[in-house]
Amino acid sequence: MKQWTEYSRGLALDEMLRLEGRGAYTRTPCGECSAPHPLYRCTNCFGHQLFCKPCILATHRRTPFHTIDVRS
């Protein structure tokens, strides 16, 4: 356990901070239509893709209790 904390603690913290922001999706297009600069992410769905506003609304029309985050 001590080896893990010495080696992986920094990696785990970096990963948590990465997922709180835009993550690795700083230059990727919308996950549905490939529009540039997507800003929206669902916190309930699997994956961390970003979507443009029309696509996130269309894909979540039937899931009204999901939480949509705006990433800037």
CATH classification of the domain holding 38: 3.30.60
64, part of any domain: yes
Report the alpha-carbon distance of residue 60 to residue 44 in Å, rounded: 11
Task: Kindly state whether residue 17 falls inside one of the protein's structural domains.
Answer: no
Query: 69 by DSSP, 3-state: which?
Result: strand
In total, how many domains does the chain have?
1
Range of the domain at 56: 25-72
> What pTM value is reported for the model?
0.68
Does residue 7 contact residue 38 with C-beta atoms inside 8 Å? no
> For 23-70, how does the pLDDT look when each residue is reduced to its tens digit (9 = 90+)?
665 678 998 999 998 989 898 988 778 899 999 999 999 998 999 988
Q: What b/e string do you get for 36-71 counting C-beta neighbours within 10 Å, with b at 16 or more?
A: eebebbbeebeebbbbbeebbeebbeeeeeeebeee
Is residue 35 domain-resident? yes
Q: Is residue 4 part of a domain?
A: no
Per DSSP (E only), the strands in the chain are: 40-42, 68-70
